[in-house]
């Protein structure tokens, strides 16, 4: 008798995804050109309040076509230092602005400045956030056990090519493997967050 298995799209047992924080429009654009060329999927976590002009914000839909756009708070504060009303505004305000720009539900967050607290994480479902990526990494290819504390495999400056070789060599189709890389397209003022 056959078993029913969860698989990645296309029946695959391995998937690669990349995740980039902060606006960096020019370097993000260059990276997306490479990703499009090689069919690579990625999420871009954006700060809607740091776009200097409203016109720029409306460009997001066209610019990030084919990639996921998700929240990184409106203006990138260290949210664990903010009053709770400010945290809600930073997350929900970013979500609303990004959704208005891209026209689909925005469900992801990456914690700005790696800042979080149990209270903030508990708020996330109330602001419509279904998953939140941390700066910490696991070094492995497992799926997240806690979507609000999603730790990727590695930062892109962290033995990336060795990890890629390890991922390529995985062959046991009875498991699901996710290679989740995160980083920045430029060294931002927020450092690795
Ligand atoms: Zn950031």
- 14-183 CATH, one of 3.40.50.300, 3.90.1150.10, 3.20.20.370, 1.10.10.10: 3.20.20.370
pLDDT tens digits, 108-152 = 999 999 999 999 999 999 999 999 999 999 999 999 999 999 999
Other beta carbons within 10 angstroms of residue 128's beta carbon come to 16
**pLDDT value at position 160?**
93
**Model confidence at 95: pLDDT above 70:** yes
H or E element at residue 54: helix 54-58
User: Whose CA is closest to 128, among 96, 159, 165?
Assistant: 96
Report the chain's mean pLDDT, rounded to a whole number.
93
Q: How far is the CA of 113 from the centre of ligand 1 (A)?
A: 6
**Model confidence at 192: pLDDT above 60:** no
Q: How far is the CA of 109 from the centre of ligand 1 (A)?
A: 11
The predicted model gives 50-60 an average pLDDT of 82
Q: Are 112 and 148 in contact (CB under 8 A)?
A: no
Q: How far is the CA of 144 from the centre of ligand 1 (A)?
A: 21
**Model confidence at 191: pLDDT above 60:** no
Q: How far is the CA of 190 from the centre of ligand 1 (A)?
A: 6
| CA–CA distance, 45 with 18 (Å, rounded to integer) | 11
Q: Going by C-beta distance under 8 Å and a sequence separation of 6 or more, which residues neighbour residue 61?
A: 101, 102, 103
**pLDDT value at position 188?**
62
pLDDT tens digits, 28-52 = 999 999 999 999 999 999 999 998 7
């Amino acid at each position: 008798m056959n078993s029913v298995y969860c698989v990645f799209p296309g029946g695959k047992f391995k998937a690669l995804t990349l995740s980039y924080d902060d606006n960096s429009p020019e370097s993000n654009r260059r990276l997306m050109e490479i990703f499009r060329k090689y069919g690579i999927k990625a999420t871009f976590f954006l700060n809607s309040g740091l776009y200097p002009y409203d016109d720029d914000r409306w460009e997001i839909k066209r610019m990030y076509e084919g990639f996921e756009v998700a929240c990184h708070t409106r203006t990138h504060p260290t949210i664990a230092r903010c009053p709770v009303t400010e945290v809600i505004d930073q997350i929900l305000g970013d979500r609303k602005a990004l959704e208005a720009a891209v026209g689909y539900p925005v469900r992801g967050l990456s914690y700005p400045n790696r800042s979080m607290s149990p209270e903030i994480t508990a708020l996330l479902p109330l602001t419509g956030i279904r998953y939140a990526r941390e700066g910490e990494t696991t070094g492995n290819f497992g799926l997240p056990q806690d979507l609000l504390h999603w730790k990727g495999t590695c930062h892109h400056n962290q033995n990336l090519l060795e990890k890629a070789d390890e991922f390529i060599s995985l062959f046991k189709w009875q498991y699901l493997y996710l290679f989740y890389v995160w980083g920045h397209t430029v060294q931002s003022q927020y450092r690795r967050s």
